[in-house]
Amino acid sequence: MKYVHAVYGGFFSFIAFSLIAALAPFAYSSGAFEVILTASTFLFAILAGFYLSRLNSRYDNTREIVAEEDALWLSLYRASIFFGNRFRNTLRELIDKYYIIAYDHDVGNYYKHNAKYHNQIYDELNKTKMPKGGKASLAMPYFLEILSNIETSRNKSSVIAAERLSKGQWASIVLLGSVILFSLFLLRTPDFYSQTATVLLSTTLILVLLILRDLQNYRLGGSALLDESGEEVFEYIGKLKYYNKKWLDEGTVKIQKNVKKYRLGLHKPGEKPNIKIVNND
């Protein structure tokens, strides 16, 4: 099922409200409805503005943290060259598994699912025999610092992602929006200006609600947050890019035209991985 983001939702709303305005009968309007419209619009503006500011800040913070985590993984892989080819190859596989699970889940929701692969890096590091002195000893503090910073980024994104609008908050703003829509159509008149203004204002109201939903789901513009940033990690470690069929079917993840071959996850998030290689013709 395709994910209907704010732009598409606003377009469909415009068509629906245009039909309603053209076909629905005109109701008797009074000053009471004008008072109700004024009060509900005022309250809606306050709540919507507050929620938009909060969710937009959450979105920007998460984007910065996720981009930083991707950069840290790249730095970690580069630094692994000082610990020998065996450790470097093991780290490559752990990073690959880590990111596959990360891309199976939403941003911030993969913390518990791929934590074991992050922890295994410490285990593998402990197993690796390091030569005394030399570059490996000098690189070890830097390597451990990167691992620690990755865990910090993981924690931050997980905590921030959990900060969502509650059911009560959604109910309040949807209720106010419904009252506004009802009042707008009751107060409209047959003239062209009134009909057009009613349709445009109603569409804008729905658009605001959908933008709130997209921000909360990290789907602003219909695309997953920083999808390509992590895909570059796959390329750098010598792995094919990975996409889960669930997100491709929803349309929140798109395969770029320059990707000739990629890995497709046929499993649902949380299930045992079932991955096949696909040629992108």
pLDDT 10s digits, 203-249: 999 999 999 999 999 888 878 777 778 888 999 999 999 999 998 88
Within its chain, how far is the Cα of 35 from the centroid?
39
Nearest to 255 by CA among 267, 239, 241: 241
Helix (H, G, I), strand (E, B) or coil at 251: coil
Residue type, 249: D
The per-residue pLDDT for range 129-179, each reduced to its tens digit, is 776 667 778 888 899 999 999 999 999 999 999 899 999 999 999 999 999
Whether the Cβ atoms of residue 200 and residue 18 lie closer than 8 Å to each other: no
Which residue is it, tokens 């920083």?
226
Cα distances from 246 to residues 96, 252, 257, 275, in angstroms, run 19, 9, 19, 13
β-bridge mates for residue 74, sequence order: none
CA 213 to centroid of chain Cα atoms: 11
The reported pLDDT for the residue numbered 132 is 64
Looking at residue 47, its pLDDT comes to: 96
Contact 180, 41 (CB under 8 A): yes
Find, among 5, 36, 2, the residue nearest to 181 by Cα: 36
